[in-house]
Amino acid sequence: MALNTWGAACSVDADSLVFPDPNKAWQKGGTIVNHDDVAKISVGTTKDEIYKLIGTPHFSEGFNAREWDYILKFYNTDNEVEVCQYKIIFDDSYEGRMRDDEFFATEFYWLPASCEKYSELAR
C-alpha cells in the first residue's frame, strides 16, 4: 500500500489520479490564495475549515463529495502568477451521511507536482 507525504496509507493510487479539466470549472481561471492559508490545510482538517481558508471547490463537487478540486493561483518568487490544480481527498468513513458529520482531509495532490511547495512555505 502506498503512503502519502505524512506516512499515512493512501486510498488513492497517485498514478491513477484524475484532475478535472480546468475549462469545466465553475470558477473560471481559479482564485489567488494566500500561501499561509494553504499551508494550514493538513491531515485532519475539516471541510468547514478548508472552506474558510480557500473557499468552495471550483468544480461541481458537493459538500458530501469525497474529493474537492481547486484551481489555485500563487505569486512565485519572480512575482509572476503560477496556476496549480489542488485535489483534496477526504476520509472514506462518512458513508454518505449528511452535513452534521465531520469530513476530514486525508490526502493532497498537486498538478503540476511542483506546486506542492506552496503548501509547505509557512510550515
Please give the pLDDT value at position 55.
92
Q: Flag whether 23 is in a domain.
A: no
Question: Given a cut of 70, is residue 77 above it in pLDDT?
Answer: yes
In percent, how much of the chain has pLDDT > 90?
46
Number of domains in the chain: 1
Q: Flag whether 2 is in a domain.
A: no
Q: What is the pLDDT of residues 102-118, one digit of tens each?
A: 788 999 999 999 999 98
Domain with 80, as residue range(s), is: 29-112
Q: What is the pLDDT of residues 23-35, one digit of tens each?
A: 999 888 899 998 8
Rounded CA Rg of the chain? 14
Higher-pLDDT residue of 119, 41: 41
Please give the pLDDT value at position 12.
64
Residue 65's CATH number: 3.30.1450
Q: Flag whether 63 is in a domain.
A: yes
**Contacts with 86 (C-beta within 8 Å, 6 or more apart), sequence order:** 38, 69, 70, 71, 72, 108, 109, 110, 115
Find out whether 79 and 73 touch, Cβ atoms under 8 Å: no
